[in-house]
Amino acid sequence: MSHFICGGQVQANGIRQHYLRYGGKGPTLILVPGITSPAITWGFVAEVFGQHFDTWILDVRGRGLSSSGEGLDYGMESCADDINAFAQAMDLTQYHLIGHSMGARFIMRAAVKRPDGVVSLALIDPPVSGPGRRLYPGQWPWYQDSIREALQGMDGEAMKKYCPSWSEEQRQLRAEWLHTCYEPAIRRAFDDFHQLDIHQYFRQLPAKTLLMVAGKGGVVQPEDEAEIRELRPDIAISHVENAGHMIPWDDFNGFFSAFGTFLGTALHAEKPQ
């Protein structure tokens, strides 16, 4: 049985924000996806969270069905403000924040800017690149070429060259929705990976924090973990050894196991029938 409740739109921080809601009961959880992941592509993950939490997935501006196009600011500050404005508009007063990759960087900034209400933060393989640091391992042509091909129209088979390890269902879903990722928004986020350093925020995070590391992702290395641990001694760090950067796609069970009881309950990775 699916835990999906509805999709919706809300005006918050001066833009239209689109969301998907799962579960509807229990503590509130807000999930912010990565750089080219519209909310719907995280639905299979939200089905599990929805067993225990009132789960909301956001379409980050410039992606999915949220506001997009020319004239918008796609930088970290605006995207962090979007998260806080969404929570306020939906009257979400206490919530867990989970962010993958780019989304992890955004929830860090959002929590620092508006700490009230943040129960916990889960940072899923966040890019730790920045000025003077090791480059983010993702290459810009991979994003640009796949988006432009999606704009022309592509199917799951064509997506295989970009996501060879994914299931046919997941490749098809990405092929269907990737065209909604506005290239200038993606470029801004990619550039910010290298121009904005998130390490300054670790000491300021207002709630307990989990760092989840992809063993095969190459994004967070042991030396990065050591630096983060020094900045935030109480941080919980877990590893999904056999997963690349897109952790739940590579190791669905391992992703949820890596939370342990951090969110207050153990998560059981049973895909909906």
Tell me how far apart the alpha carbons of residues 52 and 48 are, in angstroms, rounded to a whole number.
8
Q: Three-state DSSP class for 223?
A: helix
Kindly tell me the burial class for residue 78, based on how many C-beta atoms sit within 10 Å of its own C-beta (0-12, 13-18, 19 or more): middle
% residues pLDDT > 90 (the chain): 97
Q: Three-state DSSP class for 121?
A: strand
Residue 270 pLDDT > 90, yes or no? Answer: no
φ, ψ at 94 (rounded to 5°): -135, 125
Q: Write down the pLDDT at residue 272.
A: 42
**Each residue's pLDDT tens digit, 184-222:** 999 999 999 999 999 999 999 999 999 999 999 999 999
Question: Are 184 and 147 within 8 A, CB to CB?
Answer: no
Q: Compute the C-alpha angle 192/197/200, nearest 5°.
A: 145
Domain architecture of the chain: domains with CATH: 4-134+195-257 (3.40.50.1820)
* Average per-residue pLDDT for the chain: 97
Tell me how far apart the alpha carbons of residues 108 and 204 are, in angstroms, rounded to a whole number.
9
Name the CA radius of gyration of the chain, rounded: 17
Q: Could you tell me the pTM of the whole model?
A: 0.98
Residue carrying the six token digits 């998260």: 83
Q: What is the mean pLDDT of residues 232-258?
A: 97
Q: How many residues does the chain have?
A: 273
